[in-house]
Chains A and B, each alone.
Chain A
Amino acid sequence: MEREKQVADKDYRVPSACGIFGMMSRSGRRFDGSLIIKAMANMRERSNGLGGGFAAYGIYPQYSSLYAFHLIYDNDVAKNETEKILSLYCQVEKSEPIPFRYTKRITSAPLLWRYFLSPKKNADDDRTEEDFIVDLVMLINRKIPGAFVASSGKNMGIFKGVGYPEEIGEFFRLDEYEGYIWIGHGRFPTNSVAWWGGAHPFGLLDWSVVHNGEISSYGINRRYLSANGYECTLFTDTEVIAYLVDLLVRRHQLPFELMAKVLCPPLWEEIERMPQEEAELHQNLRIVYSEALVNGPFAIIVGFKDGMLGLTDRIKLRPLVAAEDEDMLYISSEEGAIREIQPSLKRVWMPTAGEPVIGKIGATSYATEHYIS
């Protein structure tokens, strides 16, 4: 509670406009971060230097079986407290500072550390390994003042901070990492309180979420998540979306397409026009997951270990464009950012409201799969 209070006072649920970008190699080819930094720089207008960040998948192949925790610490006390907890619950295989270089504009930073962990779960603990990790992340974020878990997935990491995205990319030396999916975010918050943990992407397990928008259903989404064991400690809209995705896809086992339909359900009048079986599916989803409906303007890109998903709200109040070439899928706030790094595209399209763009490693098509014929 105290932690909640503290963070709430600091910032969050500050309305913000944003630029978002995602790119992935369908074949799983790894490439360095310089491309996405260039794309984000193209959308500089969409951020104001108060937050930027990146998620990258496939960057730690040598530790791919371990959970990579990226931590942001305000001070040494927080670091010591966190490390005590980490070694209590996990085998810490490696612990090191996250490499960075100061840039012209970023001349100070909190303590940035990463750990490669394998969970020490008791045999009689009937939680899944993922739930164990989720609980650990929640524990640190909630209980230890000045400590924040920025990412907690395998073979992936989130790099974020206060600054323009291209500066953050330079600061974290992302040109030295190679990943097969990159997701970026530039933030335009309406006030100047800046905290590195509040930047995007937001991550939990393998999920990373970047988000442009303000969620009018936040109050009820948060209460719904709370009833399902997710405590929203950051008071950011993005956190809500990350938890919803985790709940729906990992715990409730919904396919991505249906998860998107929970977040952005079709209108009742559309459901009524569907064939009976499909109508029943969508009606049941809407009735059961009414509190998971995400209302208000948003465009999101969700990254996960074998793909990414782009989605806008049910009436598309935020921009989102998708494009593909032979191997790559791009999702972006602006087409210009994609063309900046790949002028010769095979296809460029505007996803309609609430219609997800889903790319999966090894899949042949990026269009939404229609499960019911």
Chain B
Amino acid sequence: MPLSTIFPEFKIIRDKEKCIACQVCVRQCAFEAHIYDPEKDEVYSDDSKCVGCHRCEALCPTDALNIIKYPFDIKDNKNWTPGILNDIYRQAESGAIILTGMGCDKDYPIYWDRILLNASQVTNPSIDPLREPMELRTFIGRKPRYVEVERSQERDTVKVKTQLPPQLRLETPIMFSAMSYGSISFNACQALARAAEEIGTYYNTGEGGLHPDLYKFGANTIVQVASGRFGVHPDYLNAGAAIEIKIGQGAKPGIGGHLPGEKVTEEISRTRMIPTGTDALSPAPHHDIYSIEDLRQLIYALKEATEYKKPVGVKIAAVHNVAAIATGIARAGADFITIDGLRGGTGAAPQVIRDNVGIPIELAIAVVDSRLREEGIREEVSLIAAGGFRKSSDVIKAIALGADAVYIGTAALAAMGCHVCQKCYTGKCNWGIATQDPYLSKRLNPNIAARRLVNLINAWSKELKEMLGGMGINAIESLRGNREHLRGVGLEEWELRLLGIKPAGEGW
């Protein structure tokens, strides 16, 4: 075999003093980075196989393991970094596109970290959410422009005449992003569904169809219809609380999905309605949507199929012309628009696409909200933002910029144990999340995972309430689109203009 120039990404440090050769690490590593030598009764490691998921480190009972970045020092070079070289070595050996998982990890600006929130002082009392009501309830769906009431003279009563189009009711403006059964394990799907039900929010099936055992969570499910139409049938459409047409994904705008055949188990083949062991390839575009009028037809076909009882939304990746595309989608009849930003995650995408296509979600929210308002159609559509939400402050800033709610994906996975090693596409997720291998998927106990998800969302919701109270606001709708409460630091004039916010230091 010719010499491989690929160098390891991680170094496994094993403290021999502490290692008791119990082999927990050996049993836990699906990448076979730990090997037991029965002759010497010792465990040794192969750095080249380590993906940096830290599963062994977390389970080692004696803390004998420590995974660190591989110290690969070439001559200092800002251009030819070790990472870039390794990619070249890899491609020189394979001749293939580099696949990856999760969202873009490159050093583009994260505007959330350049935006600051307001708080009340003196002239306006802040509100303590522990003592005063603080409301996060949010409705997703088309809203009429006004409410018409009917007055009855003799009884001196009013009755509401305006009926609302179907709405999703969220107890907190955070939902779980589309992650398909296939890309993640059944246990992970079940944990998301159970957590969504407990919190009073929604999870999204992704394009993987809906496993029969999860139909009971339908009231908290958004079912997705993507270009492959996997698992789409009338029962599926009617099982959920809303339907989302997936046009694009932030991690891979312009690219379809690819579920490798190894992940298409019997259960998945049944759910997706495709043969076992075949690659599930969803086309890059919907081949029945080549323009906006075609989208309109699909929106209304789905509304017909569900008797206009469910909101139908459209998910797109944040690309350069996102504002105009979003208004088109609103005019095509969508009840909500999901925008997935540059940092949106994925189970598998070409690295070059993930890291170079799309725009940051912060700018996308701002320009879409502004455009919809300029066009006077903001109330006709709800705006859901997705792609890289890391903490409650990101969420509240997104809402102040104009989003109705956000989807979290990676943060939810992290709550379940994900260490963002970006190896989802291998199907060997050591944390039992992005895998269909029964040895691995049972590592995710849905009881624990659901509990941790509920904890995370509850914690974030409490933080949202604290921040709202600080701003003297006791209902989330008074912050939505209220950019007066945001200020930018270290931002250029054009960035402030696009975000529609003032620089820090400027008053009202």
* Direct contact between the two chains A and B in their complex (CB within 8 A): yes
Tell me, rounded to whole Å, the shortest Cβ–Cβ distance linking B107 to chain A. 31
Task: Tell me the nearest residue of chain A to B126, going by C-beta.
Answer: A216
Which of A37-45, A119-127, A283-291 lies on the face that meets chain B? A283-291
A281 and B160 form a contact (CB under 8 A): yes
Tell me, rounded to whole Å, the shortest Cβ–Cβ distance linking A259 to chain B. 11
Tell me, rounded to whole Å, the shortest Cβ–Cβ distance linking B342 to chain A. 26
B149 and A314 form a contact (CB under 8 A): no
A288 and B162 form a contact (CB under 8 A): yes
A368 at the binding interface (Cβ < 8 Å):
no
Q: How far is the CA of A255 from the CA of B151 in the complex (A)?
A: 9
A252-B146 contact in complex given A219-B481, A372-B158, C-beta closer than 8 Å: yes
Q: How far is the CA of A218 from the CA of B148 in the complex (A)?
A: 25
B124 and A287 form a contact (CB under 8 A): no
Which of A77-85, A196-204, A220-228, A327-335 lies on the face that meets chain B? A220-228
Q: Given the complex, which residues of B lie within 8 Å of A284, measured CB to CB? A: 147, 160, 162, 164
Tell me, rounded to whole Å, the shortest Cβ–Cβ distance linking B505 to chain A. 16
B149 and A254 form a contact (CB under 8 A): yes
Task: Tell me the nearest residue of chain A to B369, going by C-beta.
Answer: A223
A54 at the binding interface (Cβ < 8 Å):
no
Annotate A69-82 by CB proximity to B: 1 below 8 A, 0 otherwise.
Answer: 00000000000000
Tell me, rounded to whole Å, the shortest Cβ–Cβ distance linking A272 to chain B. 10
A287-B143 contact in complex given A219-B485, A220-B482, A254-B149, C-beta closer than 8 Å: yes
Q: How far is the CA of A61 from the CA of B277 in the complex (A)?
A: 88
Annotate A256-293 by CB proximity to B: 1 below 8 A, 0 otherwise.
Answer: 00100000010111000000010011001111111101
B481 and A220 form a contact (CB under 8 A): yes
A290 and B477 form a contact (CB under 8 A): yes
Q: Given the complex, which residues of A lie within 8 Å of B162, measured CB to CB? A: 284, 288
Tell me, rounded to whole Å, the shortest Cβ–Cβ distance linking A142 to chain B. 18
Q: Given the complex, which residues of A lie within 8 Å of B483, measured CB to CB? A: 219
A295 and B143 form a contact (CB under 8 A): no
B123 and A258 form a contact (CB under 8 A): no
A258-B149 contact in complex given A287-B143, A297-B472, C-beta closer than 8 Å: yes
B133 at the binding interface (Cβ < 8 Å):
yes
Annotate B448-474 by CB proximity to A: 1 below 8 A, 0 otherwise.
Answer: 000000000000000000000001111
Q: How far is the CA of A214 from the CA of B124 in the complex (A)?
A: 6
Q: How far is the CA of A17 from the CA of B164 in the complex (A)?
A: 39
A281 and B164 form a contact (CB under 8 A): no
B157 and A226 form a contact (CB under 8 A): no
A297-B124 contact in complex given A284-B164, A373-B155, C-beta closer than 8 Å: yes
A287-B164 contact in complex given A219-B482, A235-B508, C-beta closer than 8 Å: yes
Q: Given the complex, which residues of A lie within 8 Å of B156, measured CB to CB? A: 369, 371
Q: How far is the CA of A135 from the CA of B155 in the complex (A)?
A: 38
Tell me, rounded to whole Å, the shortest Cβ–Cβ distance linking A216 to chain B. 4
Q: Given the complex, which residues of A lie within 8 Å of B143, measured CB to CB? A: 287-288, 290
B158 and A258 form a contact (CB under 8 A): yes
B474 and A220 form a contact (CB under 8 A): no
B479 at the binding interface (Cβ < 8 Å):
yes
B149 and A288 form a contact (CB under 8 A): no
Task: Tell me the nearest residue of chain A to B158, going by C-beta.
Answer: A371
A216-B508 contact in complex given A226-B373, A267-B133, A317-B125, C-beta closer than 8 Å: no
Residue of A12, A216, A277 touching B472 (CB-CB under 8 A): A216
Among A218, A277, A284, A314, the most chain B Cβ lie within 10 Å of the Cβ of A284
Tell me, rounded to whole Å, the shortest Cβ–Cβ distance linking A370 to chain B. 9
B267 at the binding interface (Cβ < 8 Å):
no
Tell me, rounded to whole Å, the shortest Cβ–Cβ distance linking B57 to chain A. 45
Task: Tell me the nearest residue of chain A to B501, going by C-beta.
Answer: A219
| A interface SS class | loop
B159 at the binding interface (Cβ < 8 Å):
yes
Residue of B124, B378, B479, B485 touching A227 (CB-CB under 8 A): B378
B275 at the binding interface (Cβ < 8 Å):
no
Number of interface residues of A (CB under 8 A): 50
Tell me, rounded to whole Å, the shortest Cβ–Cβ distance linking A290 to chain B. 4
Residue of A216, A285, A288 touching B124 (CB-CB under 8 A): A216
Task: Tell me the nearest residue of chain B to A255, going by C-beta.
Answer: B158
Tell me, rounded to whole Å, the shortest Cβ–Cβ distance linking B376 to chain A. 6
Which residues, 145 to 178 on B, are CB-close (under 8 Å) to A? 145-149, 151, 155-160, 162, 164, 167
B125 and A297 form a contact (CB under 8 A): yes
Q: Given the complex, which residues of B lie within 8 Å of A255, measured CB to CB? A: 149, 151, 158
B47 at the binding interface (Cβ < 8 Å):
no
Q: Given the complex, which residues of A lie within 8 Å of B480, measured CB to CB? A: 220, 290-291
B133 and A291 form a contact (CB under 8 A): no
Q: Given the complex, which residues of B lie within 8 Å of A317, measured CB to CB? A: 125
A296 and B472 form a contact (CB under 8 A): yes
B261 at the binding interface (Cβ < 8 Å):
no
A220-B157 contact in complex given A190-B123, A285-B147, A317-B125, C-beta closer than 8 Å: no
A296 and B158 form a contact (CB under 8 A): no
Task: Tell me the nearest residue of chain B to A292, going by C-beta.
Answer: B477
Which residues, 124 to 140 on B, are CB-close (under 8 Å) to A? 124-125, 127, 132-133, 135, 137, 139
A291 and B123 form a contact (CB under 8 A): no
Q: Given the complex, which residues of B lie within 8 Å of A15, measured CB to CB? A: 122-124
Which residues, 135 to 151 on A, are CB-close (under 8 Å) to B? none
B120 at the binding interface (Cβ < 8 Å):
yes
Q: Given the complex, which residues of B lie within 8 Å of A88, measured CB to CB? A: none
Q: Given the complex, which residues of A lie within 8 Å of B378, measured CB to CB? A: 227
Tell me, rounded to whole Å, the shortest Cβ–Cβ distance linking A93 to chain B. 35
B484 at the binding interface (Cβ < 8 Å):
yes
Tell me, rounded to whole Å, the shortest Cβ–Cβ distance linking B495 to chain A. 19
B124 and A373 form a contact (CB under 8 A): no
A315 at the binding interface (Cβ < 8 Å):
yes
A30 at the binding interface (Cβ < 8 Å):
no
B144 at the binding interface (Cβ < 8 Å):
yes
Task: Tell me the nearest residue of chain A to B372, going by C-beta.
Answer: A227
A217 at the binding interface (Cβ < 8 Å):
yes
B123 and A216 form a contact (CB under 8 A): no
Residue of A281, A293, A297 touching B478 (CB-CB under 8 A): A293
Which residues, 294 to 328 on A, are CB-close (under 8 Å) to B? 294-297, 314-315, 317
B160 and A296 form a contact (CB under 8 A): no
A13 at the binding interface (Cβ < 8 Å):
yes
Which residues, 224 to 262 on A, are CB-close (under 8 Å) to B? 226-227, 235, 252-255, 258
Which residues, 1 to 46 on A, are CB-close (under 8 Å) to B? 12-17
Q: Given the complex, which residues of A lie within 8 Å of B137, measured CB to CB? A: 268
Q: How far is the CA of A83 from the CA of B326 in the complex (A)?
A: 44
Q: Given the complex, which residues of B lie within 8 Å of A217, measured CB to CB? A: 473, 478-479, 482
Residue of B120, B479, B508 touching A13 (CB-CB under 8 A): B508
Task: Tell me the nearest residue of chain B to A269, going by C-beta.
Answer: B133
Q: How far is the CA of A287 from the CA of B379 in the complex (A)?
A: 10
Task: Tell me the nearest residue of chain B to A262, going by C-beta.
Answer: B147
B255 at the binding interface (Cβ < 8 Å):
no
Since A287-B167, A373-B157 are in contact, a sample of 6 more A-B pairs with Cβ atoms closer than 8 Å, ordered by chain A residue number, is: A15-B123, A219-B483, A219-B484, A281-B158, A290-B477, A295-B474
What 4 pairs between A and B have smallest CB-CB spacing?
Answer: A219-B484, A15-B123, A217-B478, A295-B478
Between A and B, 24 residue pairs with Cβ closer than 8 Å are A15-B124, A214-B472, A216-B473, A216-B485, A220-B478, A223-B373, A223-B482, A281-B159, A284-B162, A287-B164, A287-B167, A288-B143, A288-B145, A288-B147, A289-B147, A290-B477, A293-B475, A295-B473, A296-B124, A297-B124, A315-B127, A369-B156, A371-B151, A372-B158
Chain A interface residues toward B at CB < 8 A: 12-17, 190, 213-214, 216-220, 223, 226-227, 235, 252-255, 258, 265, 267-269, 277, 280-281, 284-291, 293-297, 314-315, 317, 369, 371-373
